[in-house]
Amino acid sequence: METREEETLCQVLDCTQGRICITLPQGWQRLSDEILARKFPYRTTPQEVFSNTQAEQIITFSLLEKQLQENQVYTAAREIQRVISHIYPESIREQARMIRIQAGAAGIFAFITGGIREDAYHSIFILPVDEKMLLGSFHLPEGQAESGRKTRMDIMRSIELLNAQKNTEAYKNL
């Protein structure tokens, strides 16, 4: 699939068994195993991880076995936000809301956490894919948050459902 000059080709997400394709900005790629282990030193890591060339801006995707229907998107985003704000009080920077993207209706919110050199900005988003939750996150230094929001939205707007049903009812109601 050809895209505009400043973007790379559509990346099919392996975690979705070929049901989702995203378009990344030029220069973005999957993280190497070495960088992935350093950035996510946990027992469980995201299923798909992409970053810019400096690995400062990172976007992740995981298709969870958690059921999610279109009419639950906003409530689920608010509940995840509530848990985050309990762990990191006063950290929320963007309140939970629903947005329209090519794939339908998605829930999104953002928060910050402390970092060694600079605070980190995190944006969480969810989208139903065949009634399962696609959980995504976008991470970057807080000083890049303003420009990063545009990058995040460009990537989210590019999400294309290939062999999945679009969550049309929630999409129509936005």
- Give the residue among 15, 93, 20, 24 at the shortest CA–CA distance from 58: 24
Cα 140 from Cα 120, distance rounded (Å): 6
In a 10 Å sphere around its CB, with 0-12 CB exposed, 13-18 middle and 19+ buried, how is residue 119 labelled? middle
**Which residue has 């400062």 as its token pair?**
56
Q: Which pTM was predicted?
A: 0.85
pLDDT for 63-87, tens place per residue? 999 999 989 999 999 999 999 999 9
pLDDT for 6-48, tens place per residue? 445 678 888 888 888 999 999 999 998 898 888 888 888 899 9
pLDDT for 42-68, tens place per residue? 888 899 999 998 889 999 999 999 999
Burial 62-99 (b: 16+ CB within 10 A, else e): bbeeeebebebbbebbeebbeebeeeeeebbeeebebb
Q: Distances from the Cα of 18 to the Cαs of 13, 146, 169, in angstroms?
A: 6, 32, 23
Do residues 51 and 148 make contact, with C-beta atoms less than 8 angstroms apart?
Answer: no
Burial 155-174 (b: 16+ CB within 10 A, else e): bbbbbbbeebebbeebbeee
